[in-house]
Chains A and B, each alone.
Chain A
Amino acid sequence: MNVKFNNRDPVYVQVIRLFKEQIARGYFEPGQEIPSRRELANQLKINPNTAQRAYKEMEEQGLVFTEGNMPSRITKDEAVLKRVREELIVEAVENFIGSIKTINVPLSEVLELVKEKYDTESGEEEGSE
């Protein structure tokens, strides 16, 4: 995982978001083992306490689970997984609407353009902030 975090949002929030993105795009599969707090801190170059905080929050949100002394895993709960995907889609659309509204374009024109551009642009990946 090669990620660049921004300096103004809490890092733990950015880590959770990263996990949600990875779940939504299928990089993390349901039930898949996740790195330990130390491994995650090392991979992402973040403070280990922050990694711990992110895991604690994700556990509370039902995104990951831990059984006994086993390594933590991504949830298998279909409802949670579906919600993550929807949440990211809605958020992306809202961001898009927010930026397109500032240039005052009629919806029909936007939709035309989206349809036209969607297939050609979809191969390109947007880097996380």
Chain B
Amino acid sequence: MIEVKNVKKKYGRKQVLKGVSFTAEKGEITCLIGINGVGKTTIMKAIMALTPIDSGEILIDGEKIRKESFEKITFIPDAITMLPQMKIVDAFTFMADFYKSWNPERAKELLQFFKLDASERISDLSKGNTAKVNLLLGLALDVDYLLMDEPFSGIDIFTREQIADVFTSHLIEDRGVVITTHEINDIEHLIDRAVLIDNGEVLKEFSVEEVRENEGKSVVDVMREVYQG
């Protein structure tokens, strides 16, 4: 379980996180929802200790993040971080050198899943295929938790469908997934929990099936109440 407890963070004078708390379970897909610029990416970076926090606590399976944790949890940013002149296969070598948790079999399986050719240069890929490679590099790590920043953003509908298919496949297995999005429509049926964020605060955290069951509301209904009510 990832526990984010009362995390506060300032950039200069701006309070970007105002005491954020939520949990994300293993074996579940938790979705951080909010319009852009509300602190979603900062939260992910804080979980990964890529950005220092001013106060509060973040625990992964009950422990603070340390060097060894990076074999357990990974962050997939919203854009690929590999050099454009690299071929996909070079990126694989890079990942294998860098991470003990790199799983070459799964990487191969993901290539097939996404119908990608490992000999292609990253700079030659379409936007959609670049997004797939970016996701693949994180998914091929044998980690327990995956944080994905806007995996559905800025890509065509067919790529979105293919990426959505990953979430229902064995490629996710029973890992804990946290994704951020500002567009929930396509993925309402894929997620377990929603965390609604605005202006550096968690406004509501809920199980999407429970809200449907107990209140007869869709995720968008709840968002409308919370953001516009």
CB-defined contacts of A56 to chain B, threshold 8 Å: none
CB-defined contacts of A49 to chain B, threshold 8 Å: 27-28, 192
Residue in A9, A42, A48, A50 whose CB lies within 8 Å of B165: A42
Given contacts A7-B188, A41-B168, A45-B164, contact A50 B218 (CB under 8 A): no
Given contacts A45-B190, A47-B29, contact A12 B168 (CB under 8 A): no
Main secondary structure of the interface of B (DSSP, over half): loop
Interface string of B127-150 (1 = CB under 8 A from A): 000000000000000000000000
CA distance A28 to B27 in the complex (A): 30
Q: Answer yes or no: B220 CB below 8 A from chain A CBs.
A: yes
In the bound complex, do residue B212 and residue A9 qualify as a contact, i.e. CB atoms below 8 Å apart?
Answer: yes
CB-defined contacts of A45 to chain B, threshold 8 Å: 164-165, 168, 189-190
CB-defined contacts of B156 to chain A, threshold 8 Å: none
CB-defined contacts of A50 to chain B, threshold 8 Å: 189, 209
Q: Answer yes or no: A38 CB below 8 A from chain B CBs.
A: yes
Interface size class for chain B? Answer: 20 to 34
Q: Answer yes or no: B224 CB below 8 A from chain A CBs.
A: no
B180-203 at interface with A (beta carbon < 8 Å): 188-192
- Shortest distance between the CB of A4 and any CB in chain B (Å): 10
Interface string of B27-56 (1 = CB under 8 A from A): 111000000000000000000000000000
Q: Answer yes or no: B213 CB below 8 A from chain A CBs.
A: yes
CB-defined contacts of B100 to chain A, threshold 8 Å: none
Residue in A7, A13, A38, A42 whose CB lies within 8 Å of B219: A7
Residue in B28, B172, B190 whose CB lies within 8 Å of A46: B190
A21-71 at interface with B (beta carbon < 8 Å): 38, 41-42, 45-50, 53
CA distance A7 to B221 in the complex (A): 9
In the bound complex, do residue A47 and residue B191 qualify as a contact, i.e. CB atoms below 8 Å apart?
Answer: yes
- Shortest distance between the CB of B12 and any CB in chain A (Å): 40
A97-127 at interface with B (beta carbon < 8 Å): none
CA distance A54 to B30 in the complex (A): 20
CA distance A42 to B218 in the complex (A): 21
Closest to B29 in A: A47
CB-defined contacts of B189 to chain A, threshold 8 Å: 5, 7, 11, 45-47, 50
CB-defined contacts of A11 to chain B, threshold 8 Å: 189, 209, 212
Interface string of B150-172 (1 = CB under 8 A from A): 00000000000000110111101
List the 6 shortest-distance A-B pairs measured between CB atoms, nearest first. Answer: A7-B218, A41-B168, A10-B213, A10-B212, A42-B168, A46-B189
Some 26 contacts from A to B, beta carbons below 8 A apart, are A7-B212, A7-B218, A8-B216, A8-B217, A9-B216, A11-B189, A11-B209, A13-B213, A41-B168, A42-B165, A42-B168, A45-B165, A45-B168, A45-B190, A46-B168, A46-B189, A47-B189, A47-B191, A47-B192, A48-B168, A48-B172, A49-B27, A49-B28, A49-B192, A50-B209, A53-B209
Interface, chain A (partner B; CB < 8 A):
5, 7-13, 38, 41-42, 45-50, 53
